[in-house]
Chains A and B, each alone.
Chain A
Amino acid sequence: MSNLILGTSIVEDEWNLVKLPVLGEETVRKQAGKVVLFKLTGEKTYSEEQIAATVIPATGKILVPLSLWIARRAELESRLTAGELAIWLDTHEVLADLVSAFDDINQLPLIAVHVERFADGRIFSIGNLLRTRHGYKNTLRAFGDVLRDQLFFLKRCGFDSYLIRADRSAEDALASLKDFSQPYQGAVDDKQPVWRRVSRQPASQP
């Protein structure tokens, strides 16, 4: 069964996820004696060899990494025109690189943001900026370490699609989209903060 939520329903994934192949050993980085769990924003995490070695499926809808589009744009141009190309990026990638790589990001039917670890809240700012600053209107998907407890926040930051981690139930996760009925602050899904949304009268003394 599919684990992909779009809006408030569970749907089949039409997109074929393309990843850069892993070449050789992945090294474990340490800082101050601890394994580094998060990559720095702007850190380059792939090699030219990986880009070159990536196999692009010849047909169908493909969801490719931003770095692949930037490096091998010529091969992908026609797929974009055909509406068969979507882009994914990691939370440590620089959003400006995505925006400047397209004449209009609304050419993309889907942008997906990969979050390697639950605790990486950069995904929220990325979603927010895509929707507000860059006017992105099509599907915005979160995937990776996506669990139900992020969903309410992701939705408020402009995401409308969530690929729940494979070992968890998307069905259960749907409930979390409704965790709070009347949040305080304005955000992407509802720009008005509560005091502009409803009339709040002073409470009577208990």
Chain B
Amino acid sequence: MYKYDEIDQAIVDERVAQYRDQTRRYLAGELTDEEFRPLRLQNGLYIQRHAPMLRIAVPYGMLSARQLHKLADIAARYDRGYGHFSTRQNLQLNWPKLEDVPDILAELATVQMHAIQTSGNCIRNITTDQFAGIASDEIIDPRAVAEIMRQWSTFHPEFALLPRKFKIAVSGTKQDRAIVQAHDIGLEFYRDDQNKMAIKVWVGGGLGRTPILGSVIREHLEWQHVLTYCEAIIRVYNLHGRRDNAYKARIKILVKALGIDEFRKQVEAEWAYLKDSPNTITEAELQRVAQYFTKMPYDTLPAHDASFDSAIASNPAFAAWVKRSVHAHQQPGYRAVTLSLKPHGRAPGDATSEQMHVVADLAENYSFGELRVSHEQNLILADVKLSDLFSIWEQARAAGLATPNIGLLTDIICCPGGDFCSLANAKSIPIAEAIQQQFDNLDYLHDIGDIELNISGCMNACGHHHIGHIGILGVDKDGSEWYQVTIGGKQGNDASIGTVIGPSFAAEEMPGVVQRLIDVYLQERTEEERFIDTVRRIGVAPFKAHVYAKKEAAHV
């Protein structure tokens, strides 16, 4: 993965000094709350229910073992011994002290990490597929360009204070796993008919209060131009985005209001001036950065491993875990492994310091010292040998990281919700926990098969509920907590936004509601049909009928 040179290091070190001084001025009363706000936000510091919350950047989800050890130490020393991996592949600390943040940043800088632009109205952490570089359906590894974009967007002077936050996702696989269509800009890499690296550019996607899937602004962009083209898009947005109303300030609203054709016209007019300016990426710069993302020094291995095959045959628990948690790899004899941060009954995405150390050691011993964070809030060891899987499983299991539920109903994406977040309408973690308890039977979970259940505590949609096959949204009704349910949302190339099934439910009804949705699916499904396929085939009505029929009957 990318390693800092002295230029990168100087920037994070100077940032620590700058932020230390900003904090000093704030604590000395030289900056008001209102003035400090945009400054701390640019640095990932929210003030939440109990304490500030610090979001640490994990660029495109890549971490080294050394970095994860450091994060574990920071969580132990400055927080309560755990951290929360987010849907944007970052790590969030729930309880740091405001005064400690400069010291935390200084510690992060020693392992080439930072919290720059992890919140605030600026270009945020760029996200991608957790299997970038190893995915069997990969066309282009987008990480080198993602790193070049990370650098370009870091303290970009023109885009430091945008109308609203700005999220970019990159993807280079046949099956999109980065949700490019739900981002302000989505970059889909492919090989054009000259076999050159090219980009299909999506713009104006986003979830939140007004979920909208992006539109294609350009079918074909040569990779050298990606920075200047993004500059053209963001400049039009910076000047014309709806600053008058925070709820309408995202680029998606501008694109919608102008229409994609008019928006494209304005962007292309702007780009005519920017194209070929010095921010055009050179072949040499791409080469320099790409050197950090070459293939790992793999051993040449046969496609099969006898010890692995016999462990599968003799150990059903191991086999169940492999079935869900182990993924195909480009290299014969290697696999990628997802470590579940979704044990039943715990906050999805949380990891304790001890667990982080265990994962870092696993990465060190079995996966070239690197790991990734997925937007589904799990951790990935990307390059492990078939023959090591059994020991990894044993160690992960001992640390509570081997729940065999990846991609299943209890692999829930969930935002911090009312337990931590001051914007929440309702709690989300207890709902996730109750659903996990309801579906605690693994055989049953495997029978239900692939399904995505996403929960957000309010319409800001941090839990991506709109694109969950089942989405749960916390709503406020006269001061009490209720939950609205959508079905039929989906991420990926054929992304869709879910449909609301009807009036909302009380918290204690939720496990039952999910159960009833599953009942309809199990009854209606054809062989090989996933939940989402059934919903798409038969529509929302049968689900709705069953959920509310029972409900009414129960109330009589």
Binding site for B on A (CB under 8 A): 29, 31-32, 34, 36-41, 118-122, 124-126, 128, 132-133, 147, 149-150, 152-157, 176, 179-187, 191-196, 198, 200-206
Contact = CB atoms under 8 A, between A and B. Distances in A.
Given A125-B235, A154-B157, 9 more contacts: A120-B243, A128-B235, A153-B158, A156-B158, A180-B11, A181-B14, A184-B11, A198-B7, A202-B291
A186 B10 contact: no
Given A200-B5, A202-B292, A183 B239 contact: no
Contacts of A155: 157
B5 A124 contact: no
B39 interface: yes
Contacts of B151: 184-185, 194
B155 A40 contact: no
Contacts of A38: 243-244
Q: Is the interface of A mostly helix, strand, loop or mixed?
A: loop
Contact of A181 (B10, B240, B243): B10
**Top 5 closest A-B pairs, CB basis?**
A121-B161, A156-B157, A38-B243, A153-B157, A195-B285
Interface stretch (B88-96, B275-283, B427-435): B275-283
B279 A124 contact: no
B11 A182 contact: yes
A150 to B, nearest CB: 8
Contact of B284 (A40, A195, A198): A195
A86 to B, nearest CB: 23
A99 to B, nearest CB: 14
A35 to B, nearest CB: 10
A122 B249 CA distance: 13
A124 B245 contact: no
A151 to B, nearest CB: 10
A39 B22 CA distance: 28
5 contacts: A121-B121, A121-B162, A150-B161, A180-B15, A205-B3
B288 A122 contact: no
A124 B159 contact: yes
Contacts of A203: 3-5
Contacts of B298: none
Contacts of B240: 41
Given A40-B243, A125-B235, A186 B35 contact: no
Contacts of B152: 184-185, 193
A202 B155 CA distance: 22
B210 to A, nearest CB: 12
A34 B278 CA distance: 42
Contacts of B514: none
Contact of A153 (B160, B163, B244, B279): B160
B7 A200 contact: yes
A29 B39 CA distance: 26
B287 to A, nearest CB: 10
B288 A200 contact: yes
A115 to B, nearest CB: 10
A41 B7 contact: no
B106 to A, nearest CB: 16
Interface of B: 3-5, 7, 10-11, 14-15, 18, 22, 35, 38-39, 66, 121, 151-152, 154-163, 227, 235, 238-240, 242-247, 273, 277-279, 282, 284-285, 288, 291-292
Contacts of B288: 195, 200-202
**DSSP class of B's interface residues: helix, strand, loop or mixed?**
helix
Nearest to B161: A121
Contacts of A132: 273
B8 to A, nearest CB: 8
B161 A119 contact: yes
Nearest to B111: A206
A124 B161 contact: yes
Contact of B282 (A36, A196, A201): A196
Contact of A206 (B3, B35, B246): B3
A158 B277 CA distance: 16
A179 B35 CA distance: 18
A23 B238 CA distance: 31
Nearest to B287: A202
Contact of B157 (A124, A133, A204): A124
Nearest to A38: B243
Nearest to B22: A149
A157 B158 contact: yes
B244 A40 contact: yes
Contact of B279 (A41, A125, A126, A186): A186
Nearest to A154: B157
Contacts of B121: 119, 121
Given A125-B239, A196-B282, A184 B155 contact: yes
Nearest to B150: A184
A126 B239 CA distance: 8
B161 A120 contact: yes
Contacts of B246: 34
A79 B154 CA distance: 43
The interface centre, meaning the residue of A37, A121, A200, A202 with most chain B CB atoms within 10 A of its CB, is A121
B5 A186 contact: no
B535 to A, nearest CB: 33
Nearest to A185: B152
Of B7, B10, B152, B235, chain A has the most CB atoms within 10 Å of the CB of B7
